[in-house]
């Protein structure tokens, strides 16, 4: 069975059309974000963070220096009938013309998506030789309700 894709935009629009994706399960597993994700404790809240290579993190933060941080974001949810769910997180840094796409295997990252729905904040952290560094770029995402709906959708595909 092919994986199906549902685009979930943070502006509240859900593209209900389930389009087959050209990727197999194995293809998507090979495309999963290698640096991983983590949870960062901040003011008694766990903030979901995407770990980026140090060079990429620096490229993004330097592009914003002295400019407003404007980020459009969406989730692309892909699933099959065997209870495999992948989520592509797309962050478009519109004020500097950059984009970051992160593919996660939701089956192994449910707490990440639960905390994303709770906080409506996503962090970017650089990876160093010793692991994630102390620097963090936090992005407030609009429409917590949309994130909650996306999390419920992810959970429903795993049942």
* Contact status, residue 47 vs residue 121, Cβ threshold 8 Å: yes
Give the pTM. Answer: 0.82
In the chain, DSSP assigns E strands to: 4-9, 14-20, 37-42, 45-53, 71-79, 85-93, 98-105, 121-128, 131-132, 137-140
Task: State pLDDT tens for residues 1-33.
Answer: 445 554 444 333 344 444 556 667 788 888 899
Confidence (pLDDT) at 141: 86
Task: State pLDDT tens for residues 26-84.
Answer: 888 888 999 999 999 888 899 999 999 999 999 999 998 888 888 888 888 888 878 88
Residue spans per domain, the chain: 4-157
Task: State pLDDT tens for residues 87-146.
Answer: 999 999 888 889 999 999 999 999 999 999 999 999 999 987 565 557 888 998 878 888
Confidence (pLDDT) at 17: 40
Q: What does the chain come to in residues?
A: 159
């Amino acid at each position: 069975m092919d994986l199906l894709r549902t685009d979930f935009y943070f502006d509240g629009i859900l593209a209900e059309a389930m389009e087959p994706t050209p990727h197999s399960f194995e293809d998507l597993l090979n495309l999963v974000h290698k640096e991983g994700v983590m949870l960062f404790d901040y003011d008694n809240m766990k903030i979901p963070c995407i770990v980026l290579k140090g060079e990429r993190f620096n490229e993004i933060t330097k592009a914003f220096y002295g400019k407003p941080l404007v980020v459009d974001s969406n989730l692309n949810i892909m699933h099959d009938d065997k209870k495999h769910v992948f989520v592509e997180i797309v962050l478009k840094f519109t004020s500097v013309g950059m984009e970051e796409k992160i593919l996660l295997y939701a089956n192994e990252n449910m707490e990440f998506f639960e905390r994303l729905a709770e906080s409506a904040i996503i962090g970017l952290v650089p990876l160093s030789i010793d692991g994630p560094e102390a620097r963090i770029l936090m992005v407030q995402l609009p429409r917590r309700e949309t994130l909650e709906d996306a999390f419920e959708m992810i959970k429903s595909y795993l049942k």
